[in-house]
Structure 1
Amino acid sequence: MCVVSMVGDHFADKTRGPWAPYFPQPWEVDPAPARPRIPFNLKPDITRDEFDALKRDVQEMKELLKRAKKYDEDNHEPHCEVEEKMELLRAIAKLVGIDLSDVIGPSRELA
């Protein structure tokens, strides 16, 4: 099992759960490029406490992704992350000023 992918799934699922107020639902899909268009906008009335809580969650996600990556490497697990999922996590992290490129690499669009 690819642990990085599993951790990614857990935090992507949060966009439909506790993080849902910060992200529009459902996700819009553009059928032409077959790639989801994900409009991320924090709600305008977000409080500092809500922002700080989201940032703590994202920092926790980054630490878990680091541990998952090390586990996968130590156990010779394949790289099975889905790029669309990793883009979602990068976008969420970017909202609160956290860079994930040192953990899951840069976006393929930037590479």
Structure 2
Amino acid sequence: MSSRFQAYGLIVIAVLLALLPLAGSRYAVELATQIMIFALFALSLNLLIGYLGSVSFGHAAFFAIGGYACAYLQTRIGLPLVVSMAGAVVITALAATVIGYFCVRLNEIY
């Protein structure tokens, strides 16, 4: 399969996914969103474990912190989706900064 054909295929899939909220039901949109979230997580794990050979449980922890923060901001505080997603990014970045600060100070294997 040529790289040009693959590029066109990815463009067509991206356009179809972008148009899904206009034509699809609420269930289809939620299902596609979940699929894309977990696909992104799987791609990042593939990069980390497959190509770099580094097994990290912190990767899953940051994924969980972001998901929990987004859900908390939506359900408990009542923020819109876009605002809660941005807030989840900030909360996860703060958690990563705190955890990273202590990790780089260690002299032994952790």
TM over 0.5: no
Structure with the higher strand share, 1 or 2: 1
Higher RCO structure, 1 or 2 (CA under 8 Å, sep 6+): 1
Structure with the higher helix share, 1 or 2: 2
